[in-house]
Amino acid sequence: MTDLPPLDRLSPLFERFRVRASLFHAGPLCGVTHFDAQPGRGFLHVMRTGEMEIRHAGATGLVEHLWVREPSLVFYPRPLAHDFHNAPADGSEFVCATLDFEAGHPLVQALPALVVLPLARVDGIGETLSLLFGEAERVRCGQRLLADRLFEVLLLQLPEAFRGALGQTPADYLADWRLAIARNELRAGKPLKLLAAELGYANASALSRLFAHKHAGLSPRAWLQRG
């Protein structure tokens, strides 16, 4: 298997599973802010400054109280209600977006229910964040579309950081991602040879070997026949 490709080769794999971002808040959050769980919807919060406490209901399976003490990305890939507790005045600064994922998106399936990434520890996102924060200031004047697109760009730049949360090597994560695409495309009737080329494999045999390794020895054809 090939090494993890650079972003320009990885991005099309993201784009096969669409996500639509919609910025809904730019500015400080004071006191307690509740975010409801809605089917098919996640959240990406960027805390620009300050610190806060996150609280979850006990039934979620997540830690009930979590402190975030430095600027961070707070990512909920799946629907999950949560509360942010900030100072009653002069609260932390945020830009927040909802994320509507296409069914079967690998991020939704693979990531834990909550990922918190300190901004200082995520390489390569500084320029995007600067643009996003700049657009967030304009959102108050109704200019929202570009900010939405910048959130989507930000997601494209985070796979390497997300892999740390997955407990997988980059190669294993990319293999699983490619297989998720392969299964969808095979069900839709795409020929294996064409699919292998689109996913960056040298030939159909290479993809078949990986497929069998991950599916208890089943070839793509045998897997399809089993339904």
Domain that holds residue 124: 7-166
Is position 24 within any domain?
yes
In a domain, 222, yes or no: yes
Strand order across the 32-35 sheet: 32-35, 82-85, 52-55, 65-68
Q: Euclidean distance between the first and final Cα of the chain, in Å? A: 27
Per-residue pLDDT of the chain (227 residues; tens, 9 = 90+): 333 333 334 445 555 566 788 999 989 999 999 999 998 899 999 999 999 999 998 777 788 899 999 999 999 988 999 999 999 988 899 999 999 876 666 667 667 888 898 998 888 888 888 888 888 777 655 556 778 888 888 887 776 676 666 666 555 666 777 788 788 888 889 899 988 887 778 889 988 998 898 888 999 999 988 86
The answer to whether residues 181 and 159 belong to one domain is no
Would you say the pTM of this structure is higher than 0.75?
Answer: no
Q: Which helix (H) or strand (E) holds 132?
A: helix 126-139
Q: Is residue 1 part of a domain?
A: no
Q: Domain holding 71: CATH number? A: 2.60.120
Q: Please answer whether residues 91 and 53 qualify as being in contact, where contact means their C-beta atoms are separated by less than 8 angstroms.
A: no
Q: Rounded CA gap, 177 and 156, in Å?
A: 14
Going by the DSSP 8-state scheme, the letter that residue 79 receives in this structure is -
Q: Which of 166, 190, 211 is the last residue of a domain?
A: 166
Q: Which two tokens stand for residue 44?
A: 């990406």
**How far is the C-alpha of 35 from the C-alpha of 42, rounded, in Å?**
10
